[in-house]
Amino acid sequence: MSALRLFASLLVGGALAGCGLRVPEIAETGDKVAGQQLVEAILINITCELRDAVSDLRAAYPQGTFINSYGIQTTLTLTYEEKGTLGPTVNWLPPSPATAVFNLGAGFSFSSDATRKNVIDGYYLVSDLQNARCSDAARPNGPFLLQSDLKLSDWLFSAVRASLTNVVNFKNASLATKDSILQHEVKFVIDTSANATPTWKFKLVTVDPSGTLLSADRSRTNDLLITLGPAVQAVVAAEKKDGKVVSVVTREPNRRAADLHQTANITNGIDTALTNALHR
């Protein structure tokens, strides 16, 4: 009976300790405050990356480039998935006559999976960023994820050079105001896993003689999509001021830029879903 009680305790303890039974935390260690600090550091780095890239471009080309009238759409998608499995087995060898050997094997399988997805959208005008470079002290400079150099500046300089050498004609008025779109995407996928397979041998029962008793897996997908396209004026609100109706005008991405950004987000979501399904 002691072996059976041990087996039952393994089932309960393993199920309670397994991953996938709660909403995953963003930070690897610490509480929710640590997760908030990590997200804040990522957002600060993204904003600084945009400011520095545009400022570097303006310093190199003070006369301006074709992206001066552009807007920048950003979508940060943080996906965290935790999976846990419990698969104990028992081999029972009861007393048998010398002429017969009876062996009974039994097993149990339990698995859980929890996914957390957070999305933050942003929109910036190049004209608002080009004179707002971040100081070195402002950047978090984390060791991984989206806290390091995102290589946006490299991509913008490559696009401008292609324009100056007429490899791509961004300056054509009939095209530049409608169809000239740039996209830059950075994705980090980090996966960690652990398993444990202890074995107990008793006179008549062996607990978990083969297989994996406990396993846990944590997957982090951090994706940043940046779309640069012409900004157009749009009336977003009408309000009364001194008894008069005044229209509030702002800037937003043109239709093609908005559509391409949305399409890339949808494609990325499908790709992530398929990848997760194949690794289950």
Separation CA 201–CA 74 (nearest Å)? 57
Q: Where is 206: in which H helix or E strand?
A: strand 205-207
How many CB atoms within 10 Å of residue 191? 11
Q: What percent of the chain has pLDDT over 70?
A: 72
Separation CA 220–CA 82 (nearest Å)? 9
Interacting residues of 83 by C-beta distance below 8 A, sequence separation 6+: 19, 20, 111, 112, 113, 114, 216, 217, 218, 219, 280
Q: How many residues would you count in the chain?
A: 280
| pTM of the complete model beyond 0.75 | no
| pLDDT tens string 65-92 | 888 888 899 999 999 888 888 777 877 7
User: Token pair 């951090």 is at which residue?
Assistant: 222
Are 86 and 15 in contact by the 8 Å Cβ rule? The answer is yes
179 or 60: which leads in pLDDT? 60
| pLDDT tens string 85-114 | 877 787 777 776 666 677 777 777 778 888
Separation CA 260–CA 74 (nearest Å)? 12
| pLDDT tens string 35-74 | 888 888 888 888 888 998 999 999 999 888 888 888 899 9
| Helical ranges in the chain per DSSP H | 2-17, 32-60, 126-129, 152-164, 173-176, 255-278
User: Which residues are 119's β-sheet partners?
Assistant: 77
Query: Is the pLDDT reported for residue 262 higher than 80?
Result: no
Span 209-223, average pLDDT = 80
Structure confidence at residue 266 (pLDDT): 77
- Measured in whole angstroms, how far is the alpha carbon of residue 53 from the centre of its chain? 22
Are 102 and 94 in contact by the 8 Å Cβ rule? The answer is yes
217-254 core/surface letters (b: 16 or more CB in 10 A; e: else)? bbbbbbbbbbbbbbbeeeeeeeeeeeeeeeeeeebbbb
Query: Is the pLDDT reported for residue 144 higher than 60?
Result: no
Are 232 and 125 in contact by the 8 Å Cβ rule? The answer is no
Separation CA 126–CA 231 (nearest Å)? 9
